[in-house]
Amino acid sequence: MTITPELIEQHQLTPAEYGKIVSLLGRHPSYTELGVFSVMWSEHCSYKSSRIHLKKLPTRGKHVVQGPGENAGIIGIGGGWVVAFKIESHNHPSYIEPFQGAATGVGGILRDIFTMGARPIAVMDSLRFGPLTKPHNLRILSGVVGGIAHYGNCFGVPTVGGECVFEECYSANPLVNVFALGVCKDNEIFYARASGIGNPVIYVGAKTGRDGIHGASMASAEFTEESKQKRPNVQVGDPFLEKLLLEACLEAMKTGAIVAIQDMGAAGLTSSSCEMGSRGGVGIDLDLDLVPQRESGMTAYEMLLSESQERMLLVAEKGREDEVFRVFKKWGLDAVTIGVVTDDGKLRIRHHGQVVAEIPNPALADEAPRYDRPHGTKPHRKAPLDAPEIPASKDLNADLLRLVGSPDLCSKRWIWEQYDYTVRTNTIAGPGSDAAVVRVKETDTSIAMSLDGNGRYCYLDPREGAKLAVAECCRNLATTGAVPVAATNNLNFGNPERPEIMAQLVEAIEGIAEACEFFEAPITGGNVSLYNETLGEGIYPTPVLGIIGLMKTAIPAPVQFRSEGAEIVLLGGFGETDDVRFGSSEYAKVVLNQLWGLPPRLDMDYEKRVHDAVREILAAGLAESAHDLSDGGLAVALSECCTSALGAQVTVGGIARPEFALFGESPSRILVITRNPGRVREIALFYRVECPAIGVTMKERLRIGNEHGMWIDLVTSDLKQSFENGLPRLLSQPLTNAG
Amino acid sequence: MKAGVIVFPGSNCDHDAWYAINQNLHGQAEFIWHDSTDLGGFDAVVLPGGFSYGDYLRCGAIARFSPVMNAVKKFAAGGGLVLGVCNGFQILVEAGLLPGALLRNIDLRFICREVTLRTETADSPFTSKLRKGQLLHMPIAHGEGRYFADDRTLDELEAEDRVAFRFVGNPNGSARDIAGILNRERNVLGMMPHPERACDALMGSTEGLGIFESMLSAVPSFAK
């Protein structure tokens, strides 16, 4: 086939990129080679727009065993054990086919974990949808949640936490970011680095079909009307097969016959082979006739670009193939030698006896274009900076009930009850906790983890918004007693070719870099999802942080009040809110239906001292319960602490406007419920952190006011009802006997 | 002498059962691969939860043809203790070792939740350490756990004191709130809730341990 300019454009390659291909090869590529380059040089696989900025992220730390560049980051947790973890997006497929799009997103990230030799023990998800008042968003939500549940539950990994936010800008661009974490011994880590000239390259797992061809390129373009016809680009997941693949891979790794292994994710056979070859500085020869195939008559182009799920490629020690085959046979899986490691550094593909592609591995994996896209402009934002006239609330009780029942703040029980969050019997703190906590049975250490992102904050100020997300994750971890050790991030943005969008990305990355450096949570990997635009309308810039922390295995202090008459201390103090910074709050969104101004002001040094203080308070056993403040501010946080039996009487000092005092989202604040406020105060003083005693727990009512009068006076069962019914009401699907 | 935990392709609570018996109960458990045909040497057998063979068909409908199931039937016929949890219960029903069927939850969604069970009989090797009426807290995690049988079967189960546990607050639409049942000989128990997930204080409940302790006292030889 002749390579025409039209064909090049169809492959989403620019004329300049094509020129680079020609110079790297010293000739024009074949059609098959063009396809291979188009996926490997796609935004999704090459990070061509973000790579130069991602370099700014801190990646080193005392716990880091493996930073970015492998399938997942690895952190030492002591006692000879490590954890592998990463977050990845499946935004575009989930819009086109929500159930399978989300399901295969889970499948992909799980393979990234167990290809490192680690058994997945936890999954979390960060989701963004359009408002549920539109039926099509309901369909996407139900499909995505169903898909995650289907895959994770069947595979047998607990989905222990996450977040879910609704905003108009995600209506045609839902975000589905899935985080996974696994454990293994520190001397049993596997890398995707091919070596040993003459070693066999073995294909294992599902057969190759025509599904998902060009998925990576699809994820690297804006959506248009035609995108909906791209449904065949979305793959279909088989979690049962993945479970078998997990067990077989871990068992095969134990034989000692495996040299390198990588999952076939985006761009399947192509990326796994050239990346393993490139990392190891070797070549790989593949014979496509040997690849297990689900369909007949597939071309080399189709096989190389197929994104059929549940497949892995591994390099074994020559002469020990049978040890590997035996294990895969036991699990009923295909395992076939399809190639060999060579010394010439090239990816050479044969089909029907002919060489159909011959490309130097580094050309695909390392020589991909890198762009310093223009970003010397202000980040895109349409919201005004100045505050409007903020009307005095007519009914603060009604406002609070509305907020706790609003889609962003209400209980996500409808979602997380569809996930098995207790399988593997490690979940010490599951959904609904400030951070999820999973024990590592073989050690006395547990892993605390939190996902957070705030598109509204980042839209108003990408740099500050990103820092706030890091701070919030670390605050979540601190509130369970854990110390942050490492982070992964998922950068969801619009079209990087627009300077004002690129500016958002750069600002956000620099904000993450600064905050992760400060909170000592180096980034060990992650994912960039660009072109989240439909018909020219972009999403809010939405960096999602996933931060993990370590703690000694023990049940953390719960969120909810435990007894009557305990003192409530607001560690960190009342914070500051003004007219401008109130514009990013949930109150502004839900009650005033507006967005303006700036995100809350963050003092990272103060924030960190609050974390240190709360960890010490928790370690000393001084807290009956604890809960950090975030979206919705003090009143919403207190509401979340209430049970139907227990509420609180709280007096707020200092700030004039009740709306600001109740619903301002100033960071660096944690509610500590204690029987020993004196000692709590001593610790707070030591860390130079404010700690006003703001009230006591009481029976069945939540009352909040100042010295002049009462602002909130509600029966806690009403609050709880509003909180629990938020989603079911919108979905018209009542919960059966929800606890 | 020991308990065997059967591993079907797709079992995913096998390790949890193994851990509960070995670490929390201080008993002795070993895995049994699904193509085993001999259960000699085991005092009790656990069919764990999970998605055997993916459960793409009716849950348990494929697993019942596993070679090991013939051995399980023989084992049960010989009086051996057989505990089926969640998918294990579904398999026992499909295999005809227990009556009835497990249908999709009434609201058609998978549910993971801590539930309260009421012990309906202490007269079995699985419940002898419990009191009749004793409440137990433990998780459920299933999409198809709605127990169904015709009225005659249900009447018979009740008349023969074979309902082992009922839900307090029925989460899935099970007939007569049934959460677990015994066979006529009382040596086979199937239940949807997960006692192996409630054997460790760190998991929030140790109230599942009573079931394993009862089994242990029925066959003391599987203590370490």
Q: Which string of DSSP letters, residue by residue, matches A27-38?
A: SPPPHHHHHHHH
**Any residues with CB less than 8 A from the CB of A593 and at least 6 apart, and which?**
none
Instruction: Give me the residue label for tokens 């402009």.
Output: A377
pLDDT of res. A216: 57
- At CB < 8 Å, which residues of chain B contact A? 9-10, 12-13, 15-16, 19-20, 49-51, 53-56, 106-107, 109-114, 139, 141, 143, 169-173, 194, 196-197, 199-204
Average pLDDT over residues A238-258: 97
Q: What one-letter code names the amino acid at A325?
A: F
Provide, as residue numbers in chain A, all residues whose Cβ is less than 8 Å from the Cβ of B200: 425
d(CA A465, CA A383): 15
Residue of B nearest to A416 (CA): B112
B13 to chain A nearest CA, in Å? 7
B194 to chain A nearest CA, in Å? 9
Instruction: Give me the residue label for tokens 């209400």.
Output: A410
Closest CB to B113 among A427, A439, A739: A739
Q: Among A215-224, A264-273, A279-288, A641-650, which is the least confidently predicted range?
A: A215-224
Region label for A63, one of left (φ > 0), alpha (ψ between -120 and 50) or beta (otherwise)? alpha
Q: Among A21-35, A165-179, A644-658, B66-80, which is the least confidently predicted range?
A: A644-658
| % residues pLDDT > 90 (chain A) | 88
**Any residues with CB less than 8 A from the CB of A229 and at least 6 apart, and which?**
none
pLDDT of res. A223: 58
Pairing mode, strands B81-85 and B101-103: unpaired
Closest CB to A736 among B19, B107, B197: B107
- Please give the radius of gyration of chain B, using alpha carbons only, rounded to the nearest integer: 15
Instruction: Please give the mean pLDDT across all residues of chain A.
Output: 94
Among the listed residues A190, A344, A309, the one whose alpha carbon sits nearest the alpha carbon of residue A252 = A190
A616 has a pLDDT exceeding 70? yes
B197 and A555 within 8 Å at the Cβ level: the answer is: no
Count how many Cα atoms sit within 13 Å of the Cα of residue B49 in the half-sphere of its side chain. 29
Provide, as residue numbers in chain A, all residues whose Cβ is less than 8 Å from the Cβ of B20: 425
d(CA A483, CA A474): 8
For the stretch A160-195, pLDDT in tens is: 999 999 999 999 999 999 999 999 999 999 999 999
Q: What one-letter code names the amino acid at A147?
A: G
Q: At what angle do helices A633-641 and A396-404 cross, to 10 degrees?
A: 70
B112 and A422 within 8 Å at the Cβ level: the answer is: yes
**Any residues with CB less than 8 A from the CB of A237 and at least 6 apart, and which?**
A100, A103, A104, A106, A107, A147, A150, A151, A309, A310
Q: What pairs with residue B44 in β-bridges?
A: B3, B81
Cβ–Cβ under 8 Å, residues B7 and B35: no
Is A351 part of the annotated catalytic residue set? no
Among the residues of A285-409, which ranges form H helices?
300-305, 321-330, 361-365, 396-404
d(CA A204, CA A639): 51
| % residues pLDDT > 70 (chain A) | 96
Average pLDDT over residues A719-731: 94
B207 to chain A nearest CA, in Å? 14
- Please give the radius of gyration of chain A, using alpha carbons only, rounded to the nearest integer: 26
Q: Tokens representing B149?
A: 């049988």
Closest CB to B111 among A155, A238, A417: A417
B197 and A422 within 8 Å at the Cβ level: the answer is: yes
Closest CB to B16 among A239, A417, A424: A424
- At CB < 8 Å, which residues of chain A contact B? 149, 153-156, 238-241, 243-244, 331-332, 416-425, 427-428, 439, 441, 553-555, 733, 736-739
A-B CB pairs within 8 A amount to 97
- Choose from B16, B107, B110 for mutation: most chain A CBs within 10 A: B110
pLDDT of res. A222: 64
Q: What pairs with residue B29 in β-bridges?
A: B3
A424 to chain B nearest CA, in Å? 6
Pairing mode, strands A334-342 and A427-429: unpaired
3-state secondary structure of A163: strand
Closest CB to A736 among B10, B112, B171: B171
A113 to chain B nearest CA, in Å? 17
A368 has a pLDDT exceeding 50? yes
Among the listed residues A178, A214, A176, the one whose alpha carbon sits nearest the alpha carbon of residue A92 = A176
pLDDT of res. A226: 55
Count of Cβ atoms closer than 10 Å to residue A498 Cβ: 18
Pairing mode, strands B29-33 and A709-715: unpaired
A737 and B170 within 8 Å at the Cβ level: the answer is: yes
Provide, as residue numbers in chain A, all residues whose Cβ is less than 8 Å from the Cβ of B194: 422
d(CA A423, CA A156): 7
pLDDT band (50, 70, 90) for residue A232? low
Low-confidence ranges of chain B (pLDDT < 50): none
**C-alpha A458 chain-centroid distance:** 16
- Choose from A423, A427, A446, A551 for mutation: most chain B CBs within 10 A: A423
A153 and B143 within 8 Å at the Cβ level: the answer is: yes
pLDDT of res. A233: 63
pLDDT of res. A213: 74
A243 and B139 within 8 Å at the Cβ level: the answer is: no
Residue of B nearest to A151 (CA): B54
B202 and A244 within 8 Å at the Cβ level: the answer is: no
A209 has a pLDDT exceeding 50? yes
Provide, as residue numbers in chain B, all residues whose Cβ is less than 8 Å from the Cβ of A149: 110
3-state secondary structure of A458: helix
3-state secondary structure of A692: coil
The model carries a pTM of: 0.96
d(CA A246, CA A118): 9
d(CA A724, CA A721): 5
d(CA A274, CA A278): 6
Count how many Cα atoms sit within 13 Å of the Cα of residue A460 in the half-sphere of its side chain. 26
d(CA A403, CA A635): 10
pLDDT of res. A737: 47
d(CA A84, CA A250): 14
3-state secondary structure of B197: helix
Region label for A359, one of left (φ > 0), alpha (ψ between -120 and 50) or beta (otherwise)? beta
Strand order in the sheet with A64-66: A64-66, A73-78, A81-89, A175-185, A119-129, A159-166
Q: Which one-letter DSSP state was computed for residue A567? A: E
A441 and B111 within 8 Å at the Cβ level: the answer is: no
Closest CB to B53 among A153, A155, A240: A240
d(CA A662, CA A646): 19
ipTM of the complex: 0.97
A736 and B50 within 8 Å at the Cβ level: the answer is: no
DSSP class per residue in A267-293? THHHHHHHHHHHHHT-EEEEEGGGS-B
**Which of the residues of B are catalytic?**
86, 194, 196
DSSP class per residue in A65-97? EE-BTBSSEEEEEETTEEEEEEEEE-HHHHHHS
Cβ–Cβ under 8 Å, residues A162 and B119: no
Cβ–Cβ under 8 Å, residues A570 and A669: yes
Provide, as residue numbers in chain A, all residues whose Cβ is less than 8 Å from the Cβ of B138: none
Average pLDDT over residues A27-44: 92
Count of Cβ atoms closer than 10 Å to residue B222 Cβ: 22
Instruction: Give me the residue label for tokens 């009403």.
Output: A718
Q: Tokens representing A261?
A: 């292994």
**Any residues with CB less than 8 A from the CB of B91 and at least 6 apart, and which?**
B8, B47, B52, B59, B60, B63, B64, B69, B84
pLDDT of res. A408: 97
Cβ–Cβ under 8 Å, residues B171 and B193: no
Count how many Cα atoms sit within 13 Å of the Cα of residue A509 in the half-sphere of its side chain. 23
Provide, as residue numbers in chain A, all residues whose Cβ is less than 8 Å from the Cβ of B206: none
Q: At what angle do helices A462-479 and A604-619 cross, to 10 degrees?
A: 10
Strand order in the sheet with A427-429: A427-429, A436-439, A445-452, A542-552, A483-492, A523-529
Among the listed residues A549, A415, A512, A533, the one whose alpha carbon sits nearest the alpha carbon of residue A85 = A549
Provide, as residue numbers in chain A, all residues whose Cβ is less than 8 Å from the Cβ of B197: 422-423, 425
Closest CB to A153 among B110, B194, B203: B110
Cβ–Cβ under 8 Å, residues B62 and B91: no
Provide, as residue numbers in chain A, all residues whose Cβ is less than 8 Å from the Cβ of B139: 422
pLDDT of res. A231: 47
Q: Tokens representing A33?
A: 């080679």
A153 and B51 within 8 Å at the Cβ level: the answer is: yes
Question: What CA dihedral angle connects A311, A317, A322 and A323, to 10 degrees?
Answer: -80
Provide, as residue numbers in chain A, all residues whose Cβ is less than 8 Å from the Cβ of B204: 555
Provide, as residue numbers in chain A, all residues whose Cβ is less than 8 Å from the Cβ of B202: 428, 439, 553-555
Q: Which residue has the higher pLDDT, A216 or A403?
A: A403
* Among A11, A53, A63, A90, the one annotated catalytic: A90
* Among A44, A92, A351, A380, the one annotated catalytic: A44
**Any residues with CB less than 8 A from the CB of A594 and at least 6 apart, and which?**
A388, A583, A588
Provide, as residue numbers in chain B, all residues whose Cβ is less than 8 Å from the Cβ of A154: 10, 12, 51, 54-55
Residue of A nearest to B116 (CA): A739
For the stretch A590-614, pLDDT in tens is: 999 999 999 999 999 999 999 999 9
- First vs last C-alpha separation in chain A: 64
Instruction: Give me the residue label for tokens 């070797």.
Output: A282
